[in-house]
């Protein structure tokens, strides 16, 4: 990831980042559902219920992460150069996070019911942030803060999105489950993007000087 010019990263960048996250998560959730059903439907009869479920959630996560990374690259191509490695890191981060969430849930069962939502998003934040940190650390100082930003961003996104849903929800409730999924995904992605975008603006203002 490199800046395309010598001009400082502006807050306009953060707004575009929010939009990219909203669209990326929306398309990713829809595409991920199809991928998960396809992979699970193929593997469950062959490898069993447990293995098939893990693979399905991993496929869902991989598609979601790839969609978010791709949208970020498309939206921000004029400001920074998000390489293909960034898309791969996003995809792997979501896939690994989804696997971890599924495995922990299967092991803990009902013991984590009350904390499952928060734990799931925190694990996604850790996984995605860590994979993207491998790229950011070569570009900016204090890149470890990116992991924390992702944890906070994805942990806070669902409750923030829920507040927005109180206003928008009644407008789409009669349009069916697909409309509700799109609304929830867009709001969650946008909310996470506010936190991570703010952090990324600050990080990109402290680039590592290339020799």
pTM: predicted TM-score of the whole model, two decimal places: 0.86
Rg (CA), the chain: 17
pLDDT digits (tens, 9 = 90+) for 113-134: 555 677 888 999 999 999 999 9
What DSSP state is assigned to residue 8? P
Please give the mean pLDDT across all residues of the chain.
83
pLDDT digits (tens, 9 = 90+) for 162-174: 787 666 666 666 6
Compute the distance between CA of residue 148 and CA of residue 133 in angstroms, rounded to an integer.
10
In order, the DSSP letters of 131-166 are HHHHHHTTTBTTTTHHHHHHHHHHHHHHHHHHHHHH
Give the pLDDT confidence score for residue 6 in this predicted structure: 46
The alpha helices in the chain, defined as continuous H runs, are 11-47, 49-75, 84-108, 116-136, 145-172, 177-204
Q: Which residue has the tokens 């479920």?
A: 53
pLDDT digits (tens, 9 = 90+) for 10-28: 678 888 899 999 999 999 9
Quickly state the pLDDT bin for 32 (edges 50, 70, 90): very high
Residue 146 near residue 109, CB atoms below 8 Å: no
């Amino acid at each position: 990831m490199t800046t395309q010019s010598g001009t400082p990263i502006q807050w306009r960048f953060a707004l575009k980042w929010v939009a990219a996250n909203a669209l990326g998560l929306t398309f990713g959730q829809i595409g991920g559902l199809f991928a998960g059903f396809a992979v699970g439907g193929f593997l469950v009869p062959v490898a069993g219920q447990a293995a098939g479920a893990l693979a399905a959630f991993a496929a869902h996560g991989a598609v979601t992460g790839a969609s978010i990374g791709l949208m970020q690259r498309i939206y921000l191509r004029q400001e920074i150069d998000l390489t293909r490695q960034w898309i791969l890191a996003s995809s792997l981060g979501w896939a690994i996070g989804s696997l971890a969430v599924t495995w922990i849930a299967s092991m803990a069962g009902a013991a984590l019911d009350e904390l499952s939502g928060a734990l799931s998003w925190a694990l996604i934040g850790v996984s995605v942030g860590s994979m993207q940190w491998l790229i950011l650390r070569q570009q900016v100082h204090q890149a470890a803060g990116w992991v924390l930003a992702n944890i906070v961003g994805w942990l806070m996104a669902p409750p923030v999105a829920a507040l927005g849903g109180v206003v928008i929800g009644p407008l789409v409730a009669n349009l069916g489950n697909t409309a509700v999924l799109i609304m929830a995904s867009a709001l969650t992605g946008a909310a996470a993007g506010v936190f991570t975008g703010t952090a990324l603006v600050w990080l990109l203002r402290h680039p590592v000087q290339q020799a």
